[in-house]
Amino acid sequence: MRGTVSRKGWVLFAVMCLVWGIPYLFIKVAVGQVSVPVVVFARTAIGALILLPLAIRSARQGGRARQGGRARQGGGEFEVLRRHWRPLVAFAALEIIIPWGLLSEAERKLPSSLAGLLIAAVPIISVVTARLTGGTERLSPRRWAGLVIGLAGVAVLAAPDLSGGSAVAVVEVLLVALGYATAPLIAARKLADVPALPMTAACLSLGALVWLPPAIVTWPHRMPSGRALGALVALGVICTAFAFIVFLALIREAGTSRAMVFTYVNPAVAVAAGVAFLSEPFTVTIAASFALILAGSLLATWTARSPAGPAVAAGPAVPADPASVSRRRPPRLRSRSSDPASPAR
């Protein structure tokens, strides 16, 4: 990114490193006083309430632009969502509905920093899942080495907890990482022409509807503390709605590939937040495993330049949008596939 991104781009980049690195902290605080269904419902509902009006306004403005000032009823963007409802439901399930529940349940037993570091394995898992689901991209020896190194880092990190009562929680987080790595394949292959903002709003709305019944059943009998309520609001407003808006702005400013580089910084933010605010331990094992996972991710997602020019990095599965196209040359690093509808990272 050096030398190719504006000052505004760097500011947006720093914001994204923060807002998608601290959800683990807020989840840990919230699940201490409210049930997992309430946490997930609050986050999805708040995010949907903020993004839905923006999506509707965007659809109306797009309709006016296409029809010379005459507003189209319902908006063409939502019609696209209706036509793609099956992959949209699958994407929402793998990216939001199931992972957010598993992650919240796991953080009832695991430190937030450990959860954040295990999620850092997503770039590595993405390479494997893409290959196993029909991807034809060749894996060079360097990328194979990255897979081995990264998985070794995950093993070093998870091993101490697999022998105790936290084994199930570790598996839950790894399943979250699997969902985060698989969902973008659906977005890239089936939802490429779906507008990002309406898609995200729809996924969050669907998540809120799914989690509403269990949230009602497990609703707290007494008012949670201000700390827990603040964590719930922060998850929905800052880590979901605001994060998505900033992410789209970062894509417009720096391009999709460069925008995703912040995913390599998020685990460090998660660890720092857990240590600073929750007094979670920072050990040599954590430091070593993070170094291995980071190095493995960088190597496993590396794409060399081709003679005709730099390789196009596989950035997030963002639906095509003229505003998100950057004319700047993409970086050599191939960042993990992700979608802006994943503000939970």
In one-letter notation, the amino acid at residue 151 is L
- φ/ψ of residue 309, rounded to 5: 145, 180
Q: Give the confidence band of 212 by pLDDT, cuts at 50, 70, 90.
A: very high
DSSP 200-223: HHHHHHHHHHHHHHHHHHT--SSP
Q: Give the confidence band of 75 by pLDDT, cuts at 50, 70, 90.
A: low
Token digits of residue 140:
């060079």
Q: Cα(115)–Cα(29) distance, rounded to whole angstroms?
A: 14
Residue pair 51/242 in contact by the 8 Å Cβ criterion: no
Token digits of residue 274:
């857990």
Helices 243-254 and 196-217: angle between axes, nearest 10 degrees: 160
pLDDT in tens, 6-53: 888 889 989 998 999 999 999 999 999 999 999 999 999 999 999 999
For the four alpha carbons of 220, 226, 227 and 231, in that order, the dihedral sign comes to positive
Q: What is the pLDDT of residue 4?
A: 65
Give the residue from 265, 284, 274, 270 showing the smallest Cα distance to 156: 284
For the four alpha carbons of 210, 47, 232 and 338, in that order, the dihedral sign comes to positive
DSSP one-letter code for 292 = H
Q: What is the pLDDT of residue 165?
A: 63
Q: Give the confidence band of 62 by pLDDT, cuts at 50, 70, 90.
A: low
Q: Cα(171)–Cα(40) distance, rounded to whole angstroms?
A: 19
Which range has the worst mean pLDDT, 28-32, 137-141, 183-187, 203-207? 137-141
Q: Give the confidence band of 340 by pLDDT, cuts at 50, 70, 90.
A: very low
Q: What is the pLDDT of residue 7?
A: 86
Q: What is the pLDDT of residue 331?
A: 38
pLDDT in tens, 283-329: 898 999 999 998 988 888 776 544 433 332 223 344 434 333 333 33
pLDDT > 70? residue 336 = no
pLDDT in tens, 143-201: 888 889 988 988 888 887 776 668 899 999 999 999 998 998 898 889 988 888 999 99
For the four alpha carbons of 239, 244, 245 and 248, in that order, the dihedral sign comes to positive
Token digits of residue 224:
């949670």
Q: Where are the alpha helices (DSSP H) in the chain?
A: 7-19, 23-30, 36-66, 76-83, 85-92, 98-106, 112-119, 122-132, 141-162, 167-190, 196-217, 226-236, 243-254, 256-259, 266-278, 284-300
**Exposed / middle / buried, residue 68 (Cβ in 10 Å: 0-12, 13-18, 19+):** exposed
Could you tell me the pTM of the whole model? 0.82
Say which residue the tokens 């914001």 belong to: 15
DSSP one-letter code for 255 = -
Q: What is the pLDDT of residue 321?
A: 40
By three-state DSSP, how is residue 139 classified?
coil
Q: What is the pLDDT of residue 213?
A: 98
Q: Give the confidence band of 220 by pLDDT, cuts at 50, 70, 90.
A: very high
pLDDT > 90? residue 266 = no
pLDDT > 60? residue 221 = yes
Q: Give the confidence band of 132 by pLDDT, cuts at 50, 70, 90.
A: confident
* Span between the terminal Cα atoms of the chain, in Å: 21
What is the widest separation between alpha-carbon atoms in the chain? 65
Rounded average pLDDT over 89-106:
96
Arithmetic mean of pLDDT over the chain: 82
Rounded average pLDDT over 134-138:
73
Q: What is the pLDDT of residue 325?
A: 34
- Residue 56: CB partners within 8 Å, gap ≥ 6? 75
